[in-house]
Amino acid sequence: MTAPVLAAEKINTYYGHSHILRGVDFRVMPRETVSLLGRNGMGKTTLLRSLVGLVKPRTGHVIFNGADITGNRPSFIARAGLAFIPEDRGIFPNLTVIENLTFAARPGRGTRPDWTLERIYSLFPRLAERRTHWGNELSGGEQKMLSIGRALMTNPDIILFDEATEGLAPKVRDEIWATLRQVAATGIAAVVVDKNLDDLLALAERHVVMAKGEIVFDGTTQVLKADEALIHRHLGV
Ligand SMILES: Nc1ncnc2c1ncn2[C@@H]1O[C@H](COP(=O)(O)OP(=O)(O)OP(=O)(O)O)[C@@H](O)[C@H]1O
Ligand SMILES: [Mg+2]
């Protein structure tokens, strides 16, 4: 049996006294793209933050490539091959596009061809045109592309992507979805949070729905599409 690339095992995460994640079990298999869905405030971002070490679960474990990384520092987790793209993109405003792409770059472990600047530029021709611009000179869409490019340059085994297309114009959103499909095809596992259900149904093969810090659905595109009551109740469409 194949082991998950990333797993949360019964994690309970708190912000101060607020009990946010309530015994969450969550698995991602190698090469798998999973969508993480749910209404506002249900715990999606908190789950991603718990997985990458930005908040430490009070109980339970996070397992990455077979190792227990619960409570490890975010920088250590990132270097181990777990990339996180936060909603605010985390671009360095005073570094150029090239510098943003290269400063955290690290070689892969030979399981897939390494990402290079050339590959990133062919994925995002716009970044090639903008290579010497400062991070803060980029549009929102370009910053999003840069944050994806930067994550890929770390040659991760999995990318966690919060609010993938939030705040972007429809045309730019379509570009991001197309890119995510290309990235998924290279065999990197991914967890994608977004508000656009149709796009997520088209991208991911498995979908996880959260409500009030718990997982209330975990299933395939086909099963989710057929469950109108669940979609209405938890996804508000
Ligand atoms: N830093 C914080 N301190 C205290 N409570 C927080 C903090 N961040 C989030 N929360 C609370 O934790 C709960 C889960 O929030 P979280 O951001 O994980 O939800 P989400 O599903 O990502 O929502 P959204 O769709 O709006 O991004 C919410 O009730 C939120 O108010
Ligand atoms: Mg969120």
Number of domains within the chain: 1
Would the CB of 44 count as within 6 Å of ligand 1? Answer: yes
Candidate from 11, 35, 45, 196 with most ligand 1 atoms within 8 A of CB, to mutate = 45
Whether 223 maps to a domain, the answer reads yes
**Measuring from atom 28 of ligand 1, which residue has the nearest CA?**
41
Say yes or no: CB of residue 40 within 6 Å of ligand 1.
Answer: yes
State which residues form the domain around 179.
6-235
| Secondary structure (DSSP) of the chain | -PPPSEEEEEEEEEETTEEEEEEEEEEE-TT-EEEEE-STTSSHHHHHHHHTTSS--SEEEEEETTEE-TT--HHHHHHTTEEEE-TTTT--TTSBHHHHHHTT-----SSSPPP-HHHHHHH-HHHHHTTTSBGGGS-HHHHHHHHHHHHHHT--SEEEESSTTTT--HHHHHHHHHHHHHHHHTT-EEEEE-S-HHHHHHH-SEEEEEETTEEEEEEEHHHHHH-HHHIIIII--
pLDDT tens digits, 172-212: 999 999 999 999 999 999 999 999 999 999 999 999 999 99
Instruction: Report how far ligand 1's centroid is from the alpha carbon of 205 (Å).
Output: 26
Answering whether pTM is above 0.85, one says yes
CATH for 215 = 3.40.50.300
The 10s digit of each residue's pLDDT in 75-132 is: 999 999 999 999 987 899 999 999 999 998 999 888 889 999 999 999 999 999 999 9
In a domain, 171, yes or no: yes
pLDDT in tens, 9-68: 999 999 999 999 999 999 999 999 999 999 999 999 999 999 999 999 999 999 999 999
What is the pLDDT at residue 237? Answer: 63
210 domain-assigned: yes
Asked if residue 1 is part of any domain, the answer here is no
**Ligand 1 within 6 A of CB of 36:** no
Residue 40: per-residue pLDDT: 95
* Ligand 1 probe mutation, 11, 13, 15, most atoms within 8 A of CB: 15
